[in-house]
Amino acid sequence: MTRRYFSDRSLPQERYLPGIGQRPPESDLHAPMLSPDRWMANDAYLWGVDLFNAGYYWEAHEAWEAAWHAAPGDTQKSFLQALVQYAAGMLKFRSGPKKTAAVLAERSLARLEGVKAQVEQPPYMGCDLGSIIAVLRRMYDGEVLETADAQLVLSTRSRDYLGAVTDRWTQPECTRYLERDGYLVADTPEFRAYYGGHYLLLDRAPQPTQLEMWFKRWEDERGALPGTSRYLVWEDEPDVTWDAPDLGDGTVYQRIPTMVRMGAIDRVPPPEGIVLKRISNDDDWAKLVAFGSELYVPEHGDAYREFARWRYDQYRRALRHSGGSWWAAFAGDELVGSLGLFESPGLLRFQEVQVADSQRKRGIATALLSRALASAHVRFKKATAVICPEEGSGAERIYQRLGFRTISVGHWVMRSAKTE
């Protein structure tokens, strides 16, 4: 069975051939303006791959054309236009004339070879460009191609998933990323005990027997970091599980889904006695820092206050540099809920969605989410909202009710800090 990359839609009942039958209505599929490294959230692109692999060439052409028009860069536009011509060529092989198919193959080839020359770290948007080029050459030579000959198999690494991409987007300014063969290293030198600031992002899930090797690799990469927990991270499709071994004391395994939603949420009013507002002055920001600093002290201990104050300073700096907003819920003068929203034309990333224990289950988080998204969508109507809650949490269930869907799951294995 051919793998599906966008399973939210069922394949059409019939394949359309121009001039035969009734032309299908235009698709209402959202085509976001996303850069190539965020292709996992580009529904129009993924839907086109599914259609193409199933032999719906005219329909794939339409989906990819929508993605092509929305592409923000020349290289990405050339790649998507090449796919449009590839699909059109396959359609001509089915319905004729074959000479036209060869012409389309030649045009697609020229564009893909140009893209390949510009790509420093293949694959590109999950595609092995060399394999596509080889099939196009066969098409140009007049060889008869079957649907199975032209399958697009997307290669997904952890760093291609949207959660991994936007985690890097919201990291502190000082965090460095080092590319390695098979993994990426994150290092945050300003705060050695930073939660999640020192990890290896693996290209794929490790074998359970390899965990000790990977933790040793972490130590080789990071050196001696007293008080710093070791993190191994990878992302996979939502239905992929990991056969976690007996991790022992001090090592924890956690699953964090990446959930996305396109479009604004219907405005949800705050509960009685709660006022929502965007934080815009130093006094309210100080209340936010105090709120965020105390929230997890029962779980992490008094040392968490220092980390939280530093982290909120990093958030504020990032908001000033890259755009975004922080929203809060107030009961009188008391701040009882908050969330951050990092913004760009293509993506909106929620961060630190929190509500005070005494105010839970009143709808405050939902009201904050709807208000922040409504504000952002005034500027960025085509942006995809991203959020990463803990799997099985009440927060995940709230987001599901609001129309967020899970596109991947982050796997986190954390070994607590050693006393040195």
For residue 30, the model assigns a pLDDT of 66
The confidence score (pLDDT) of residue 21 equals 66
3-state secondary structure the chain: CCCCCCCCCCCCCCCCECCECCCCCCCCCCCCCCCHHHHHHCHHHHHHHHHHHCCCHHHHHHHHHHHHHHCCCHHHHHHHHHHHHHHHHHHHHHHCCHHHHHHHHHHHHHHHHHHHHHCCCCCECCECHHHHHHHHHHHHCCCCCCHHHHCCCCCCCHHHCHHHHHHHHCCCCCCEEEEECCEEEEECCCCCCCCCCCEEEECCCCCHHHHHHHHHHHHHHHCCCCCCCEEEEEEECCCCCCCCCCCCCCEEEEEEEEEEEECCCCCCCCCCCCEEEECCCHHHHHHHHHHHHHHCHHHHCCCHHHHHHHHHHHHHHHHHHHCEEEEEEEECCEEEEEEEEEECCCEEEEEEEEECHHHCCCCHHHHHHHHHHHHHHHHCCCCEEEECCCCCCHHHHHHHHCCCEEEEEEEEEEECCCCC
Decide yes or no: CATH 1.10.3450.10 for domain 36-155: yes
Q: Provide the pLDDT for residue 420.
A: 41
pLDDT recorded at residue 382: 72
CATH class as words, domain 264-382 = alpha beta
pLDDT tens track of the chain, all 420 residues? 577 888 778 888 888 877 676 676 666 666 777 788 878 878 889 999 999 999 999 999 999 999 998 898 899 999 999 999 999 999 888 777 778 888 999 999 999 999 999 998 788 999 999 999 999 998 888 877 777 888 999 988 898 888 988 888 888 888 999 989 899 999 998 888 887 889 999 999 999 899 999 999 999 998 877 778 899 999 998 989 998 888 888 899 999 999 998 877 888 999 999 999 999 999 999 999 999 999 888 887 888 899 999 999 999 988 887 778 999 999 999 999 999 999 887 789 999 999 999 999 999 999 999 999 999 988 887 788 999 999 999 899 999 999 999 989 999 999 987 544
Domain boundaries, the chain: 36-155, 159-256, 264-382
Predicted local confidence at residue 353, as pLDDT: 95
pLDDT of residue 142: 80
- Look at residue 64 in the predicted model and tell me its pLDDT: 94
